[in-house]
A and B are shown apart, each in its own frame.
Chain A
Amino acid sequence: MSTAAETRTVPTAAIHEGFLAHARFRYFKLASLLCVLAVAVYWWDDPADGPNGGTWLGYTLGTVGALLIVWLTLLGWRKRDYSSRLGTVRGWLSAHVYLGLSLITIATLHTGFHFGWNVHTLSYVLMLLVIASGVYGTIVYARYPTLITVNRDQSTREAWLAELDELNEQSLKLADALDTQVHQIIVQSIDRIRIGGGLRAQLFGPREPLRKAFAQVEKELGMTTRFMATKLRAQPSMRSLGPDESSTVSFMAGQLVGGSHDNESAQKLLDLVARRRDIAGRINRDIRLHAQMQVWLYIHVPLTFALLAALLAHILSVFIYW
């Protein structure tokens, strides 16, 4: 949330893009060569019944494509097998990305551009979906680690959570010392803090607190404090506050301006609340970045297995009805 953190010098994206440039783009070159070769042979070959999966080239491309899919699936196994000596995981990942992309060419040429409502096109469509989710994954793996590092600002989520609890406790104590009403407001604002949540909350941030709850708080605080708050919010230091905390802040501001309490304590409480809001925002952003960075795997991996099933059905059905 803090704009200052983003302008600071951060580790460059190169660290996370490493797998793309692995071994001087060896697998990019290999995959490109494969595509160029496939297109060239497809262009040269002129089967009498038109290009299709049943010509010699069709069978060749189909075999290459099926073997590639099986091999690409094995990345999941290689990742977990730490004792494996079959190349580095980084190399595998690099090859996985580029050879996976080359499948678009290989499989499309294998179809000969014949599509229909059948298991064959089902396999093709599933493959494209897997590749599309993989492309998303490649992009987020290249971008998000940097964003996460910037957001973390050398802290950790666990430290933030501990701090948040600490801040809640301190603010309650401070509020308790100030006024019963202040204490109530703080208790309610603690309840309103949303960290994480379901799939939607993790991916897009938690929902705003309920309008009803807002209305209740506002009503209780009364017209005076709101008027005071408006005056106070016009000051530059208050402008960056989000709606999440606005009611708490309005109230606090009202208390401050009213001068009915110890100014120092109130100022301290206000700082605590602002810090709390910042931390909650960072935690939610951290959760959101992680969720967005990982959600594609929940599509990529299961769809891969759907693809394997469809591929099996595709190959078996072709040879059952040879």
Chain B
Amino acid sequence: MRFLIRTWTRQSGENVSQDRTLESQRLRIGRGTDQDIELPDLRIALAHAELVRSGKNAMLVTRPGASMLVNGAVTREHKLRGGDVVLIGRYQLTILPGTGDIDLQIDVEEKVSARDEKSQRQTRLGMTLGEVLWTRRRVAWLLFVPVLLLSFALPAWLRFHHTPPPVPAQADYQPPRPPTGLAAAIPTDHLWVPGQSSSAHAYFQNDCAKCHKAAFERVPNEACLSCHKDTKAHASDARWLRLDDFAKARCEDCHHEHKGDLALVMRDSAQCTACHAQPQQRFPDLRLQAAADFSQHHPVFTPKVARYDSVTRTFAWIEASPEQAMTLHSDTNLKYPHDKHLDPKGIKSPTGKQVLGCPSCHEPDSSGVSFKPIDMQKHCAECHRLDFDPDDPDRSVPHGQPAQVVGVIRDYYARAALAGGVKKPGAPPIVQLRRKPGEQLTPPQARAALEWADQQSAIVIDEVFDKRVCGYCHSVTRTGDPALPWSVAPVMLAQHRLDHASFSHQAHRTEKCESCHAARKSTLSTDVLLPEITRCRDCHGDPGTVSRIPSTCIECHGYHISKDHLMGMASKPAGPPALAEHPP
């Protein structure tokens, strides 16, 4: 075989080739000086490979232990074709088909110089993190931008890039459905929710825009009032409500959202005492007593008590105070000694002695706050019977209707006198005599009988009203009117009232009634059985106390207590001017 061996070398920056031809049956390749193609690279064996004839073609075979790369693959044996590239050590052998009498052309080229190879090898090594990792700056941006985009920019754009449709009225409002599937992965302003919504508002917690109307603005009161329409204002005087203290008050001052159910109604007394500790300092003409705390600086109870005016026959309400004992009684126009009814030995009744307790008459109402009104039929009538004639104990007068009482008694005796057979001492014979069947009284007889009936009923009416029946419990007066000779004073059963506080009897049901109400010692129905505030302080203390039940203002008091005015009313343009005398 004839080979053309073209050796390329670099000389002063240019590639120079040197050709030689060789005729041999085998071509030896290696580092040794005796080789046909000498490759001076220490990593190449002295005799590295041989090119031998194989039929028409040439076969490249490495010596044992040596290896080469043919067209990029590690090979021990390869049938050569034109265009094959063989790498041995630093050298590249390119096989080209021969021309003319040349069977095969082999281009030999040193790919890199020994020195270059060394430095190349070193730079190829990854020896610092900077070579194998992105720069910190690049990674920083790669994190910064997506985090900002996903957690802020995209949610903000989705929320504000169009004006949200007006929130429909409460009745039509439908909270948006939470997204499902892939849409749920889109970051929305839900990512900004700082905490659990209160259970009352949780159903629209995905609809941030329902409350958060505009960016960088606090939740306006209107957002709350669009649902809570009937919420009362604080003060009843509209002039007060025009003051900044009320007009600029925000629902959120007291009602915090996104804190679970804990803070939906703030129980912070400091918000109340900010004004109420020294109300006159801010509002000089206010007739409100100072309340800085409950344990030390809280006004005594001043219940509303009833005063009866016998001329107009009406009740008026005045404020009483335990500090002025004279004022502390409330007119009821009933004669009702609690002590007798609560006698532990029992009280006389038509069926023998009965032991009564508070619940015998005072039944809690459905709210648990107070009690159902006392009902004569239900609570009194079993003992206090309304019969008027000892000979006929089953006949009774109706309760609460004096005119009918008079009528019933008169009718009863008129009928008895006319019917005869009345066994009453002193009654005329015509009244005492039993009538024969079909007997008719003559007019003089009838007149005599009715005359007795009139006398008798007048006696019984006086007895019923004044002594035995009505007057036993009620305050009665003689009228001088023959048609309705007695009048019964109206009764006031609601004995006393605390207008600005609510006390839940239900919440205190584990306490005995008498632990607060001195009913067993009360001899008069006018006694006010409201305990003093000191009794409350036995158990209740200020927030933060550990020796009592920590109790805040709103345990007993409300904020939204205005009689006529609603929240938000003061911000409307029309309305009475604010108080001029209010100090700035």
Contacts and interface: CB of A to CB of B under 8 A. Distances in A.
Interface of A: 46-50, 52-54, 114, 116-120, 122, 157, 161, 165, 169, 172-173, 176, 180-181, 183-185, 187, 190, 195-199, 201-202, 220, 283, 287, 290-291, 294-295, 297-298, 301-306, 308-310, 312-313, 316-322
A201 B113 CA distance: 28
Interface stretch (B228-236, B262-270, B445-453, B492-500): B262-270
Given A46-B544, A302-B139, 7 more contacts: A50-B263, A157-B127, A181-B64, A184-B45, A196-B126, A198-B132, A317-B156
Contacts of A165: 118
Interface residues of B, number: 57
B581 interface: no
B73 interface: no
A310 B31 CA distance: 64
Contacts of B66: 184
Contact of B263 (A49, A290, A305, A310): A49
Interface string B105-138: 0000000000000100010011111001100100
Contacts of A290: 128-129
A322 B217 contact: yes
A281 to B, nearest CB: 14
A184 B125 contact: no
Contacts of B145: 309
A302 B143 contact: yes
Nearest to B143: A306
Q: List 10 tightest A-B contacts by C-beta distance, closest first.
A: A49-B263, A48-B268, A184-B65, A313-B152, A317-B192, A305-B140, A309-B147, A306-B143, A302-B139, A172-B42
Contact of B127 (A53, A118, A195, A313): A195
B259 interface: yes
Contacts of A52: 195, 259
B29 interface: no
A322 B136 contact: no
A202 B132 contact: yes
B151 A122 contact: yes
B141 interface: yes
B127 A181 contact: no
Contacts of A117: 191
21 contacts: A49-B268, A119-B191, A157-B127, A180-B46, A181-B64, A195-B125, A202-B127, A283-B127, A298-B136, A298-B139, A301-B140, A302-B136, A302-B140, A305-B141, A309-B145, A309-B151, A310-B151, A317-B192, A320-B192, A320-B212, A322-B219
Contacts of B43: 172, 187, 190
Nearest to B254: A48
A305 B192 CA distance: 20
B256 interface: yes
A116 B195 contact: yes
Contacts of A176: 31, 42, 46
A120 B65 CA distance: 65
B193 interface: yes
B208 A321 contact: yes
Given A180-B65, A321-B208, A202 B259 contact: no
A190 B458 CA distance: 141
Contacts of B182: none
B189 interface: yes
Contact of B216 (A47, A305, A309, A320): A320
A310 B187 CA distance: 14
Given A183-B46, A312-B148, A116 B126 contact: no
Contact of A198 (B126, B140, B212, B259): B126
Contact of A295 (B64, B129, B144): B129
B184 interface: no
Contacts of A297: 136
Contacts of A46: 544
B311 interface: no
Contacts of A122: 147, 151
A190 B235 CA distance: 95
Interface centre among B46, B66, B125, B155 (most CB of A within 10 A): B125
A197 B126 contact: yes
A320 B153 CA distance: 12
A63 to B, nearest CB: 17
B305 to A, nearest CB: 36
B259 A49 contact: yes
Contacts of A291: 128-129
A116 B125 CA distance: 46
A205 to B, nearest CB: 13
B46 A301 contact: no
B142 interface: yes
Contacts of A283: 127
A318 B189 CA distance: 11
A55 to B, nearest CB: 10
Nearest to A306: B143
Contacts of B61: none
Contacts of B132: 197-199, 202
A317 to B, nearest CB: 4
Nearest to B148: A309
B215 interface: yes
A197 B133 CA distance: 11
B262 A50 contact: yes
Contact of B262 (A49, A119, A187, A303): A49
A114 B260 CA distance: 11
Contacts of A201: 126
Given A172-B43, A309-B144, A310-B147, A48 B195 contact: no
Contacts of B544: 46
Contacts of A120: 192, 194
A7 B224 CA distance: 75
A266 to B, nearest CB: 18
B186 to A, nearest CB: 15
B218 interface: yes
B372 to A, nearest CB: 36
A119 B65 contact: no
B543 to A, nearest CB: 8
A173 B139 CA distance: 47
Contacts of A295: 129
A1 B191 CA distance: 52
A184 B66 CA distance: 6
B544 to A, nearest CB: 7
Contacts of A184: 45, 65-66
Contacts of A185: 65
A117 B65 CA distance: 63
Nearest to A217: B65
Contacts of B217: 322
Interface in B248-263: 256, 259, 262-263
A195 B124 CA distance: 10
Nearest to A318: B194
A198 B127 CA distance: 8
A295 B144 CA distance: 19
A117 B196 CA distance: 11
B47 interface: yes
